Amino acid sequence: MTASARTPESEGPSAVQRTHPLRIVLADDERLFRSALAALLESRGHLITAQVGDADTLRAAVARTEPDLAVIDIRMPPTKRLEGLRAAVDIRQSHPGVGILLLSQSVQVTHLTELTGYGVRGVGYLLKERVADEHFLDTVRRIAAGECEFDQEVLGLLFNGPHQQGGLAKLSTRELEVLKLMAQGLTNPAIASQLVVSVKTVETHVGSVFRRLALPDESEGEYHRRVLAVLTYLQSERHG
């Protein structure tokens, strides 16, 4: 999935397309992979401000070098479970101007809704097998510029089933308009003001969007479904 997001400035990197070299922190405990990735990015003119192999050093490197983007392996020492993802959540909270690109050998969705709780702008998640092509380099620049990209396999697990293309065709014109404003980061009251309708009317449309897109109604609640709805919209816009 590739998707473009436009949300308030406080939620992430500048939405202005960046043409200058990016400042990037790389976090992966596999030294050879990290070095190869650094060489690939540097060959395109980007500056690697730090290469680290554990989550604590990652947090310190981001605070010290203030990069445009952090490319983070989800599994890092000492347990090689989800230390990288937890560090990404911390960075998202303390340094909202830093784009986050997660990499993993296999799909892990634990903590992803916590990560996207600060907005989907400037967030990506790819399987490592996607790194060896030109698309990856394009993804790096887009995420640093405030867009988002989630691997289809990640989306499948987030939706608790196969992700269906063309879901937006089920929405009415007004529901699609509401979803578009949701994707811009507007709250229900802000959407109501924009459309000159009541907040209750907006809530009704939002609920209908959730139902028509068959989003899971789970313990994560409305915000989890709101993120999924926005991701669906952004993907459709990118591939439309």
The pTM of the full predicted model, rounded to 2 decimals, is 0.69
Average pLDDT, the chain: 81
Confidence of residue 3 (pLDDT cuts 50, 70, 90): very low
Greater model confidence, 99 or 116: 99
Of residues 32, 33, 34, the one with CA closest to residue 50: 34
Residue owning tokens 């202005």: 16
- 131 pLDDT above the threshold of 90: no
Residue owning tokens 């196969």: 162
Of residues 36, 41, 84, the one with CA closest to residue 62: 84
Q: What angle is formed at CA 123 by the lines to CA 121 and CA 126, rounded to 5 degrees?
A: 145
Instruction: Enumerate domains of the chain plus CATH numbers.
Output: 9-158 (3.40.50.2300), 167-239 (1.10.10.10)
Q: What angle is formed at CA 146 by the lines to CA 104 and CA 139, rounded to 5 degrees?
A: 45
Question: Which range (38-52, 57-71, 143-157, 219-233) has the least confidence?
Answer: 219-233
Residue 219's identity, in one-letter code, is S
Please list, in sequence order, all residues whose beta carbon lies within 8 angstroms of the beta carbon of residue 229, skipping any fewer than 6 positions away: 179, 182, 209, 210, 213, 215
Neighbours of 153 (CB within 10 A): 17
- Please give the full DSSP string across 69-81, using - where no structure is assigned: EEEEESS-TTTTS
Q: Return the DSSP state at 193.
A: H
Residue owning tokens 């989003």: 215
Is there a contact between 2 and 147 (Cβ–Cβ < 8 Å)?
A: yes
d(CA 104, CA 232): 22
Is there a contact between 202 and 195 (Cβ–Cβ < 8 Å)?
A: yes
Using a pLDDT cut of 90, give the percent of the chain over it: 43
d(CA 137, CA 25): 15
pLDDT digits (tens, 9 = 90+) for 167-202: 688 899 999 999 988 877 788 999 999 999 999 999
Residue owning tokens 């293309």: 165
pLDDT digits (tens, 9 = 90+) for 71-110: 999 999 888 888 998 999 999 999 999 999 999 887 776 6
Greater model confidence, 157 or 34: 34
